[in-house]
Structure formats: structure tokens, C-alpha cells
Amino acid sequence: MSLLDTLLRCVAVVVVFLTFPLIIGQTEHKVMAHMQGRLGPMYAGGFHGWAQLVADGVKFAQKEDVVPLDADRRVFQLAPAVALLPYMLVLLVIPVGPEGFVGQAVDAGLIFVLAVMGIGVLGSLMAGWASANKFSLLGGLRTAAQLMSYELPMLLAAASVAMAAGTLSLPGILGAFHWWWVPWQLIGAFVFFTAGLAELQRPPFDMPVADSEIIFGAYTEYTGLRFAFFLLSEYAGILVISALTAVLFLGGWHGPMPESLGWLWTLLKTFALAFVVIWLRVTYPRLREDQLMRFAWTCLIPLALLQLAITGVVKVAIS
């Protein structure tokens, strides 16, 4: 791969990272406006509130950048970047289509993805600890407990796909994909997608940022663009989890379209799953902390182990 080709791929990943999460954010405004009768997002800019995202960006840019007097300034300022950067790195290795439609092919891409996504929790911990705010610290600790609990079922579900494909490479997993995998790996898909929602602290798993109890969790003291970066990391996370679910469990670019348009099929699956994420936010109430932990340890983990057992039996039977 030439230097120019590498540079173009990196630029393409950055463009996707800076645009697609914003599209998901705009979509969330509109979907919630229709499902919950929220009229506010339907006015900005005229027709269907097309300028709502622009209005939000201007609002965040105009707000004062405040750092609490007792905060650890360096850690406080670094936390938004630590929360945001892992998702850009993950997008770099997700295959969008056949024949090299990936930013950077990695032999052990699945391990790389899961390892990098685990770094995101440090951003919340840094924000909570550095803010010199008890509510922020409580939110950071809740985030750490939740993410550590839901990492395990996510890893087990991903391991089932790797076992079925016989490779840790994301393009390799897609290369080994067969449509009968969809019902076979359905339990793993449910576990992976649900654990991903909990990793993103999305409703109904948003206890760490429960605004009715701890204001906004680890991000309470953040204002302006720094707070916007945390929101951007959330929407980037929706994009990444949806894309990974589509690649690992729904065949990625495999579909009725010609292979040359496989990237479009991947995007359709990704945005369909992103819509489900928004739909769940509108539909379900927040879980209590004990319910949230119990769901991970008594439901998702046994289901992930069951999926691993099924995969092992099927692999032995067909080998």
C-alpha cells in the first residue's frame, strides 16, 4: 500500500468520523420529535427543523469554557479527547465493503477493536475524578462498574463469531460469512448489541449519567465544546457499535446488491441499527443500578456462554 493510498484512507476515515455521528445526532432529534411529540427540534431553519444541528453547534461554541477552580486542569481538559479518540481508531479497521474497503486491515482486528473500545472508560473516569465534584465522581464510578460488567458478555459474544469464522480478522470474518449464521448467531448478536448499548451508557442503561439524580454524571462540570465532544463520542459510539454488529452478525457488505455497492449495503444495515438505538431510548425507562448489574451477570453472560457452547458444538459437528 502506497503512502498516498494510506493517506487517502485516513482522510476518508476522519471525514466519516466527523460527519456520520452528526447525521445520527440529527436523526435522533427528528425521531424523538416524532415519537414523543417534541415540537422544539422541528422549527430551527424552517422545513422540518433542518438546521437544528447547526443551532446546537452554535450554542455549544458560544458557551463559556469553564474549568472548576479545584479541578485537575490538565486531566479535566484531556478527558474529552480520551473519550473520543478510541472510536476513530475503531473506524479505521472496520471493513465497509469488499476488495480493500477498509482504512487499515489488521490481522487481529477483532482484538484490536475490543481492546481500543475499553480505553473509552478512562475518559469518563478522568472527567469524574478531575472535576472536584462528588456527583461527577459518583458518575465516573458508576461508569466504571457498568462498563466492566458489560465488557465480559460483549467479549464472549464476539468470541463466538471468531470461533465460527476461525479468524480474528474482520475482513476474514466477512469472508467466512454464510447467511445461515444469522439465526445461528442470533443470541450472540442480541448480547453484543445490548452490551454495546450499556457501554455507551444509552437508555435504558444510562444510570451513570442519570440527570434526575446526579445531574449529568461524570460530565456535570463540562461546558461548551468540551461537553459537545462528550456528546460527539456518544454518537460516534452508536455508529461504531452499529457497524460492528452489522459486520460481525449481519454479514456486513453481503446482500442483494452487487459487490461494487457492498459499502452501501453496510451503511444501510448500520443506520438501521442506529435507528434501533434511538428507538430504545424513546421506548424504555432507565434501569435501577441493581437491575442493571443483575441483567449483565444473570442474563447476558449466561446467554453469551450458551452461544459459545452452541458454536463449539456446531463447529465440531461440521468439521
**pLDDT at residue 190, as a whole number:** 95
CA torsion through residues 177, 182, 184, 186, sign: positive
**pLDDT at residue 214, as a whole number:** 62
The residue type of 158 is: A
**pLDDT at residue 240, as a whole number:** 94
Q: How many CB atoms lie within 10 A of CB 82?
A: 19
Q: Total structural domains in the chain?
A: 1
Place of cell 478510541: 86
Distance CA 11, CA 9 (A): 5
Distance CA 193, CA 163 (A): 18
Distance CA 210, CA 38 (A): 20
Residue 294 sits in which domain range? 3-318
pLDDT averages per 10-residue partition of the chain, 319 residues: 74 86 88 81 75 81 85 90 89 82 80 88 87 85 84 93 91 84 89 92 81 75 88 91 94 80 89 94 84 91 94 82
